[in-house]
A and B are shown apart, each in its own frame.
Chain A
Amino acid sequence: MIRYEIGIVDTRTVIKTLLDDFGYDFRDYALTSFKRRLEQVILNNGLRDAEGLIMRLKNNPEFIDQFLYEVTPETTEMFRDPSFWRLIRDEVLPEVSRGASSKPRIWLAAFDSGEELYSLAIILKEMNILNNVQIYCNVLSEKTINKIKSGRLDPKDIEVNEANYQRLNGTNKYSQYYTVDGNIYTFDSSLVENVTFLKQTPLIDNEPGAVKLILFRNQAIYYNQLLQEKMFSKLSEVSVAGGFLALGVKETLENTNANNKFTVFNDNEKLYKRKTV
């Protein structure tokens, strides 16, 4: 595992280029993981170092989308934390979809590579309510939108995903949601045909209003505490009273200003409920 390591000064120079030349603000991303993401982009693209990355960004305007695609960590599993998804299916979605005059809104606010979205869509489909809700999905790059729409997710560890699905006690077979041709796995893209994709900046400035369920799992870990505060406050504003907010199981609203806007619905799964004002 000998690899190029980018220093803090060079990291800040890249961050400055991204802000000055493209208007993308990564200044309050968590330093350690962001450094590692930059190293990954440099490695993937055969760039020698931070200077090589900056030259590529400046000289190839179309490279920025590839950069945004690669700088976002992949979601590595379908149905990560099956107990979380069981809770969503058995307690949260029935409440979210009940008695609404217009389609209840679900916002996948983390930068997901498709796995969270397809996991959610499969559960909704198995509950026969996929078409009764409106899903909004944040994306940072056009390439991610195309990938998700085509269903060509990276299959990753298919055994892990299969095992997660089984722990979920789904009603079908996991394998019925994709086709395999050689090494290429194509998920059933009709699952996501009614999803509205929201192209975002790193600070997520384009939010839908009046959301009943927000999935924001394992995104805040990539922020520093300042940006965490800002994002949690933003999420509390777009959530309807009684709406749900899901964080990653090791993320918490504790010790943040948003804490008094929510009650804990399930502490193990870090599921919160927006208080009635």
Chain B
Amino acid sequence: MFKAVIIGGSAGSFQVITRILHSLPPTFPLPVLLCLHRLKHVRSGFVEALSIKSSIPVIEPNDKEQIRPGKAYLAPANYHMYIELGNKIALSTEDPVNHSRPSIDLSFTTAAQVYREKLIGIILSGANRDGAYGLKKVKDLGGLTIVQDPEECQVRTMTEAALKLTPVDFVYNTNEIIKFLQKIKP
């Protein structure tokens, strides 16, 4: 019944993402869209680091790449990553939003418009407010929303901003997020 999972994170989210990707079944039935803040001038290394322990392939997509289930798509350095009708990635070099490019708000907003109630949006640890508005859009359009428990976050600014703006469906720690995702059936 779901069509995609989108995850946003910043400072303190790398280990959480690594654990999530490691714990997914290799036959995970949905695409996983990752919008993580990263150094804009460092183009290589990140996707390789995430791939090491991931049980599904992690890709840094080219523009207009078709989104497929069972793969993770990492927003490339210094681009915004939009989800386009037709289930494609669309990249953009427009101005940073919330001082961020990729901006979590933009990835989440465009994913929400395409997948609507069939989207799961997850906000993890981070040091700014990017993602709060995007998660609200996911919720407003009928999607399911999860925020990492701020108590567990290395930096809680991002999750607290999201919780302030949206009554989310679940506040989960990493283990609970993993259990939730492992239960998703095709």
Contact = CB atoms under 8 A, between A and B. Distances in A.
B133 A30 contact: no
B142 interface: no
Contact of B133 (A1, A80, A222, A228): A1
Contacts of A248: 63, 91, 93
B95 A74 contact: yes
Interface stretch (B6-14, B30-38, B82-90, B115-123): B82-90
B164 interface: no
A248 B76 CA distance: 12
A225 B85 contact: no
A7 to B, nearest CB: 10
B79 A250 contact: yes
A153 interface: no
B: interface residue count bin: 20 to 34
B133 to A, nearest CB: 5
A220 B92 CA distance: 10
Interface in B71-117: 76, 78-79, 82-85, 90-98, 101, 105, 110
Contacts, number: 74
A164 B110 CA distance: 30
A221 B92 contact: yes
Given A1-B98, A163-B41, A32 B63 contact: no
A248 B91 CA distance: 10
A228 B84 contact: no
Contacts of A36: 92, 94
Q: What is the interface of chain B mostly: helix, strand, loop, or mixed?
A: loop
A252 B65 CA distance: 10
Contacts of A33: 82, 90, 92, 94
A31 B90 CA distance: 9
A73 B94 contact: yes
A36 B97 CA distance: 12
A220 B133 contact: no
B8 to A, nearest CB: 14
A186 interface: no
B90 A75 contact: no
Contact of A250 (B62, B82, B97): B62
Nearest to B103: A1
B41 A218 contact: no
Interface in A144-189: 160, 163-164, 167
A277 interface: no
B95 A32 contact: no
Given A80-B78, A221-B90, A250-B91, A32 B84 contact: yes
A33 B110 CA distance: 10
Nearest to A75: B93
Nearest to A156: B95
B84 A167 contact: no
Nearest to A1: B133
A188 B106 CA distance: 36
Interface in B14-48: 40-41, 43
Contacts of A160: 40
Nearest to B101: A76
13 contacts: A31-B84, A32-B83, A32-B84, A32-B92, A32-B110, A73-B92, A76-B93, A167-B41, A221-B63, A221-B93, A228-B64, A250-B62, A252-B62
Given A73-B95, A160-B40, 8 more contacts: A1-B133, A32-B110, A73-B94, A163-B41, A250-B76, A250-B91, A251-B62, A251-B63
